Amino acid sequence: MKLAEALTERAEATRRVEQLRARIVGSARYQEGETPSEDAAQLLAEAGEVLSTLETLIRRINRTNATVEMGADGTLTDALARRDVLRLRHSVVTAAAGNGERGYGRQLRSELMMLSALPVAELRDQADVLAREIREVDMRIQRTNWEADLLD
């Protein structure tokens, strides 16, 4: 099985657990004199099985991520960390740039004009560079996900 397939299965199992959780909560309590729509104990057992499968899958994915080398990016785990930090850095830079409109928020001439304390154009250029880096790292990660075999 390829790593990308395992990641898809992990997402599917996570969705399944969430669906089962909602069904369990809906069936765990019912009014006196009525019968529950589903057997909460059976749903709970099913959720336990899916969670056990999910745990095994996550362990295998993590083991694979820590082992697979991506050249200059280091291991897949290193590349994932790099992508996460690039995303956070991009978020901070774009927030700092704001909307960049001089006088934003001013309705009347008598109101104070808002000015930017940071070089907005430079921050936007920096954000563009970060966005490109994110796309490039993400593309290498995706390629590796489809090339790497999942470890046991």
CA 138 → CA 1, 55, 63, 90, 131, distances in Å? Answer: 21, 25, 19, 14, 10
Q: Which two tokens stand for residue 100?
A: 């960049």
pLDDT digit string, tens, across residues 6-25: 999 999 999 999 999 999 99
| pLDDT, average across residues 56-69 | 98
Domain boundaries, given as residue ranges, for the chain: 1-67, 69-152
